Amino acid sequence: MLLPQKTSPCRIVSARGLLAASFKNSRQILELTRYGVKAVTVVPDVIDGFAGNAAIDTAIAQFTEDFRGLAGEGKTMADC
């Protein structure tokens, strides 16, 4: 199994597995999934990086605005 040695925080432990550690950002984890890594241990700050996406934040804000426009202020999906 070939891994990107300069950017990968991994080393081959056996023919079946990898030891992955010291992730600095969520992009490193996503990159390793391309090589078959199925599990990692990471700190909460790195996990937060998966959810910290400006496009997602914008989509949620737009959905909320659209819903309020259709259902009215203070309404929830349960009210509809």
Does residue 39 come out as left (phi exceeding 0), alpha (psi in the -120 to 50 range) or beta? beta
What percent of the chain clears pLDDT 70, i.e. is strictly above it?
74
What is the arithmetic mean of pLDDT over 56-68?
91
What is the arithmetic mean of pLDDT over 14-40?
76
Measure the CA–CA gap between 63 and 57, rounded to whole angstroms: 10
The domains of the chain are located at 10-72
Residue 70: C-alpha distances to residues 34, 51, 62 (Å): 42, 27, 12
Instruction: Using CB atoms within 10 Å of the CB of residue 37, give its burial: 0 to 12 exposed, 13 to 18 middle, 19+ buried.
Output: middle
